[in-house]
Amino acid sequence: MQLIFLNRNTLSYKDFAPIQPDFEIVLDMVVSQKSTFTLNKKAINASIGDVVILKHESFSYIGILEGIISGDDGTLKIHCQDFKELFNIKVPVETYSGDLCALLSSKIRQAFVENEDTRQCLKYLDINVRSSVYGKLTYDADCLISIDDLIELLLKSYNIIVKYKVGFLRGRFTSIRIIIEEVAKSAKLRYDFKEIRDLSISDSDINSINKITFYPKKENKTHKAAVSYYLLRDGGISEDREAEGRYEYVNATAEYYSDDDYDSLKTKAQSSLCSAISDHEITFTLSVYNNVFIPLVNVFLGFYIEFYGPNKTYDTLLTQIKYKKNFDVCYLTLGEQRTSLTDKIKLLKKGIGSSGGNISVSTTITDVDGGNY
């Protein structure tokens, strides 16, 4: 197996290198992670920031070269970021009502395909929109948001997913395809599925935000009452403080609202509280020789999973895919909680650096259903 190194601006070929079997590929939508490879080569014709591709028989890994370390034994160790880290770039965003897949495509195109800065412009990006999902995003005036954060928002609020694939023609790499589509089905996975091993579940109801209160702004003319919404254990929300299924312990947050915001408070509460549904960490290893649930083949990062645990059913997200030393077994994580100290620090930094302004989301909730594994 070997890595291919391509020029980041043009996708032209630069070099290749065989890899040793101690590789680790990590794709994570919660915190930024690095993939590592040991190369059987003393030097490579590649620069920090170049595109790195590993072609497997079933899928391709696409990364960005971040570090090169020379070994004493004539090898090189390299670190790569996931390709999606390119989209951690802020763009202007405004209130929008319409096709949200088209909106995301437009923002990516403006930043990387039609950009006047030729060094930022990546003409080889092939943006393929396969769904139309209509909704409304309401932002403050003069607001910036990173494309990566917009992708995450659309995933959680509208089931819109982004996938990356390599375009290959007549022996050369021609494009990187960005596929934008709606996740039409959620997969159902049982804890006793025969290919699952080393299952670990870390669940935290205490840390979850399960109540949000909207307070009226002083300048409101029509709506002057506080409105509270409560997260229920089945994933729904209610305005009834006595509703059956409320969490025993309250962990609350609050925001101000204007008269114009009033009609969208429920959907805004849904958006704010839905992240609490995935406030857990479910980890396990999975043999890929199962023909029904194969990461990076028919299940991708960000897919909704209905996971039937020993004592509880989780409506959750596939948030990490990891391969170590071989492609026979995959290490998977469901949920957005992280228990390792390193990942907790990364999450803290991510929270501190996030400043997208106020946003109101009007969303349509779809009852999706998929395979049962």
pLDDT at 370 over 60: no
Tokens encoding 133: 């999902």
User: Region 107-126: what's the mean pLDDT?
Assistant: 93
When the candidates are 3.30.1920, 1.10.3130, 3.10.20, 1.10.3230, the CATH number that belongs to 205-275 is 3.30.1920
pLDDT of residue 144: 92
User: Region 334-357: what's the mean pLDDT?
Assistant: 59
Q: Between 73 and 365, where is the model more confident? A: 73
Q: How far is residue 368's CA from residue 373's CA, in Å, rounded to a whole number?
A: 16
Backbone angles phi, psi at 303, to 5 degrees: -65, 145
pLDDT of residue 204: 65
In whole numbers, what is the pLDDT of the chain averaged over residues?
86
pLDDT at 74 over 70: yes
Counting residues of the chain whose pLDDT is more than 90, the rounded percentage is 58
pLDDT of residue 263: 82
pLDDT at 361 over 70: no
pLDDT of residue 355: 43
pLDDT of residue 158: 84
Sorted by where each begins, the domain ranges of the chain are: 2-85, 88-183, 185-203+279-363, 205-275
Q: Between 285 and 251, where is the model more confident? A: 285
pLDDT of residue 48: 96
- Structural contact between residues 15 and 51, judged by C-beta atoms closer than 8 angstroms: no
Q: Does domain 185-203+279-363 have CATH number 2.40.30?
A: yes
Q: Between 318 and 358, where is the model more confident? A: 318
Lowest-confidence pick of 94-98, 143-147, 364-368, 369-373: 364-368
Q: How far is residue 165's CA from residue 150's CA, in Å, rounded to a whole number?
A: 20
pLDDT at 43 over 50: yes
User: Region 160-180: what's the mean pLDDT?
Assistant: 92
pLDDT level of residue 275 (50, 70, 90 thresholds):
low
pLDDT at 314 over 90: no
pLDDT of residue 342: 58
pLDDT of residue 325: 94
Q: How far is residue 213's CA from residue 250's CA, in Å, rounded to a whole number?
A: 12
- Structural contact between residues 283 and 270, judged by C-beta atoms closer than 8 angstroms: no
pLDDT of residue 274: 66
- Structural contact between residues 230 and 210, judged by C-beta atoms closer than 8 angstroms: yes
We find that the CATH architecture of domain 88-183 is 3-Layer(bab) Sandwich (3.55)
pLDDT at 346 over 80: no
Lowest-confidence pick of 91-105, 183-197, 339-353: 339-353
pLDDT of residue 269: 85
pLDDT of residue 76: 95
Q: Between 124 and 231, where is the model more confident? A: 124
pLDDT at 343 over 90: no
pLDDT of residue 369: 41
pLDDT of residue 364: 43
pLDDT at 116 over 70: yes
